[in-house]
Amino acid sequence: MENINRNEEGYLTDFSQWTKDVGAEIAKDKEIEMTDQHWKVVDYLQGKHKNEEALSIRGIKKSGVVNIKEFYSLFPGGPLKISTMIAGIPKPKSCI
């Protein structure tokens, strides 16, 4: 993990450094044990990121990957914030 570039908040700054191990390591920091269901969400998020599409709770809802309640139970706290960190993609943000 020491060779992985991350910003002050812990988000990867270079997606090419992401591997499943890196994701699992970040998850462990957040006290999350990754399951198939977690990885499905990560897959979906990375796909959206690759297509340069904005992430939203609605997008997750419509994705058919998980429902929102499940999304919250998979990534407790701030699900979008935590799942994007694990996925190695930038945190969803506003313009300022």
Partner 1 sequence: MKNLVILGAGTSGTMMANHLVGKLPKNDWKITIVDQYKTHYYQPGFLFLPFDIYTTKQVKKKGKKFIPKKVNYINQKIEQIFPEENKIKLENEDINYDILIIATGTKIAPEEIEGMKGPKWQKNIFDFYTYEGAKALRDKLRTWKGGKLAVHITEMPIKCPVAPLEFAFLADSYFVKKGMRDKVEISFVTPLDGAFTKPKATKALHYLLEEKGIKEVTDFNLESIDYENDKMIDYSGKEVEYDLLVTVPTNLGDELMVRSGLGDDMNFVPTDKATLQSKKHENIFVIGDATNLPASKAGSVAHFEAEILTDNILLYIDGKPLKEEFDGHANCFIETGNGKALLIDFNYTHEPVEGTFPFAGIGPLNLLKETRMNHMGKMAFRWIYWNMLIKGTHIPFVSATMTKKGKIFD
Q: Is 10 in the site for partner 1 (CB under 8 A)?
A: no
Residues 6+ apart with CB under 8 A from 61: 67, 68
Q: Is 52 in the site for partner 1 (CB under 8 A)?
A: yes
Chain centroid offset of residue 9 CA: 14
Chain centroid offset of residue 86 CA: 4
Stretch that binds partner 1, among 17-25, 31-39, 60-68 (CB under 8 A): 60-68
Stretch that binds partner 1, among 18-26, 27-35, 36-44, 64-72 (CB under 8 A): 64-72
Alpha-helix runs per DSSP H in 1-96: 20-29, 36-50, 57-63, 68-74, 79-87
Give the footprint of partner 1 on residues 16-35 (CB under 8 A): none
Query: What does the binding site for partner 1 look like in residue numbers (CB under 8 A)?
Result: 8, 51-54, 56-59, 62-63, 68-69, 71-72, 76-81, 91-96
